Amino acid sequence: MMMQATPIPPQSTFPEVVKPTPETAESHEEPTLTIQEDERGDGSPAPPKDLQSPQVPLLNDLLPLDRLQVTKRLRVRNVLFLRGKKNRFFVKNTDQTLIYTIEEENSSWWVGYFCYGLRPLELRVMNEQGIEVMRVHRPYSCTARMFPCQLQHLQIYSPPEQLIGSVEQQWAVLRPIYKIKNSDGETLFRITGPYVTLSCFRDVHFQIVRPDGTAVGSTCRHWQGLAHALIFAPVSDKFGLNFEQNISVEEKGLLLAAALLMDYMYYDA
């Protein structure tokens, strides 16, 4: 017996294609990117807020350090060719890694020959990349311990156009005393030297303390022998500086500038 095939029902008709209305067509348009102008109004998109990090201090190389060794070199060629007496300093850490190079500049070639360690000058402190991170300005001051005609005064800038502090000499008959102040004139530290600053067969220490008398560090000139004192000291010399590690990098820069002033005042031939 043969089976009859069931007829397939006719397919239903598809619905008519809905034609988009003008409102629907406009809603399907691709979105456009709107660029918001930044504060400058040049049409460029503003950078993300999380990428707008604050500027890193130029003296940030001093952040992990609590001890510095400074080597002084007299630029002999300048002296021989009457170009002025100028020093060059190399600042290193305890691992003998070079941190800064300091170049001395003075306005006139003759001041170094006649003013010696009292000469007016500017010191440019540069890092390994050759970027000037600090500048020290020293005007001329004719200072004598017994007669306070003009006391020493340093101004320290970092960056070179922004004042961060000063070093001021205080009049005292028996021993050298200096105050280190911030840009607002507040005293941060006080440096007290020995009664005899001559480094002869002994080390010389300048103590660094806070206004309340708390010890912070010291700058020290080690005795390197009689031969060095007579022959090599006028051309090449060195001294050390130590301080608390947790003080700010600006304060460390001020202490470095003060240590340089001590060298010019008492040990620059």
Q: 0.95 cut: is pTM over it?
A: no
What is 68-267's CATH topology?
Answer: Porin (2.40.160)
pLDDT, tens only, 158-180 = 999 999 999 999 988 889 999 99
For the chain, the structural domain boundaries read 68-267
- Tens digits of pLDDT across the chain (269 residues): 444 555 555 454 444 544 545 444 444 444 444 444 444 444 444 444 433 334 667 999 999 999 999 999 988 777 666 667 889 999 999 999 999 999 999 877 677 667 777 788 999 999 999 999 999 999 887 766 566 677 889 999 999 999 999 999 998 888 999 999 999 999 999 999 999 998 888 999 999 999 999 999 999 998 988 888 888 887 889 999 999 999 999 999 999 999 999 999 899 86
pLDDT at 15: 47
- Determine the pLDDT at residue 118: 77
Condensed to tens digits (0 to 9), the pLDDT of residues 88-120 reads 999 999 999 999 999 999 877 677 667 777 788
Q: In whole angstroms, what is the distance from residue 187 CA to residue 260 CA?
A: 19
Tell me the C-alpha distance between 160 and 163, whole Å: 8
Q: What is the DSSP string of 189-235?
A: EEEE--S----SSS-EEEEEE-TTS-EEEEEEE----HHIIIIITTT
What pLDDT sits at residue 235?
Answer: 85
Cα 24 to Cα 1: distance, rounded to the nearest angstrom:
60
Burial class (CB in 10 A: 0-12, 13-18, 19+), 221: buried
Q: What is the pLDDT of residue 140?
A: 83
Whole-angstrom distance, CA of residue 219 vs CA of residue 67: 10
Question: What is the structure's pLDDT at 79?
Answer: 67
What pLDDT, on the 0 to 100 scale, is given for residue 7? 52
Instruction: Give me the pLDDT at residue 145, please.
Output: 58
Contact between 264 and 117 (Cβ < 8 Å): yes
